[in-house]
Amino acid sequence: MVEGGNVDDRYDKAFPVSWEQFHRDARALTWRLAEYGPFHAVVAITRGGLVPAAIVARELGLRVIDTICVASYDYGAQGDLQVLKEVKQDLSAEGGKGVLIIDDLVDTGKTAKAVRDLLPNAHFATIYAKPSGCPLVDTFVTEVSQDTWIYLPWDMTLQFAPPIRDGAKV
């Protein structure tokens, strides 16, 4: 569990993101990234970075996609960070120069710092950013408050949502 209890105790606000919104935001990220290239490869931080990396790679015409596999989150719980898989050696040459790192969001910055340490010269981009993590990324689309839990489309199902006046989280 997170410090202080479950996810609902740590986060005061909810930010649900639909598939359509996520796709629009990933394309908006690509528009911003176009001015920073050229890039020769994309590195997705798994798992959250897989979907936006595929969209960005398509839009930028990049065919070389690798992953860096980092474990630090389960729903509502952030544990010790573990790098489970690093990128291919040729992509880490020159500190990742010409490489684009993609993740869905930067929260506390713990994962971003670990990846940034491995690829210090890469361009780091996320769709969503929270204040604690913002300084660690080069480009992002939307900033949300630190006390907001972002519900990404792959973590949700369609169901009834009670009105805010009835106690639903904002």
Residue 101 lies in a domain: yes
Decide if 138 is catalytic.
no
Residue 124 lies in a domain: yes
User: Is the pLDDT assigned to residue 1 strictly greater than 50?
Assistant: no
Residue 143 lies in a domain: yes
Q: What is the pLDDT of residues 22-56, one digit of tens each?
A: 999 999 999 999 999 899 999 999 999 999 999 99
Token representation of residue 147:
């006390």
Cα gap 36→43, rounded to integer Å: 16
Let me know: does 138 contact 156? Beta carbons within 8 Å. Answer: no
Query: What's the pLDDT at 163?
Result: 84
Decide if 9 is catalytic.
no
Q: What is the pLDDT of residues 115-131, one digit of tens each?
A: 999 999 999 999 999 99
Choosing from 103, 138, 147, 155, the catalytic residue is: 103
Query: What's the pLDDT at 164?
Result: 80
Decide if 107 is catalytic.
yes
Residue 89 lies in a domain: yes
Whole-structure pTM value: 0.84
Q: Give the DSSP letter of residue 71.
A: E
The amino acid sitting at 83 is V
The count of structural domains within the chain is: 1
pLDDT top residue among 41 and 11: 41
Choosing from 8, 9, 25, 104, the catalytic residue is: 104
Q: What is the pLDDT of residues 74-106, one digit of tens each?
A: 555 566 888 999 999 999 999 999 999 999 999
SS3 state at 28: helix
Strand 99-106's sheet: what is its strand order? 77-85, 65-74, 41-46, 99-106, 123-129, 139-143
Residue 1 lies in a domain: no
Establish whether the linkage from the previous residue to 131 is cis, with ω within 30° of 0: no
Q: Domain of 18: which CATH number?
A: 3.40.50.2020
What percentage of the chain reaches a pLDDT higher than 90? 75
Residue 107 lies in a domain: yes
- Structural domain range at position 30: 7-166
User: Is the pLDDT assigned to residue 69 strictly greater than 70?
Assistant: yes
Choosing from 12, 66, 80, 107, the catalytic residue is: 107
Residue 2 lies in a domain: no
Residue 41 lies in a domain: yes
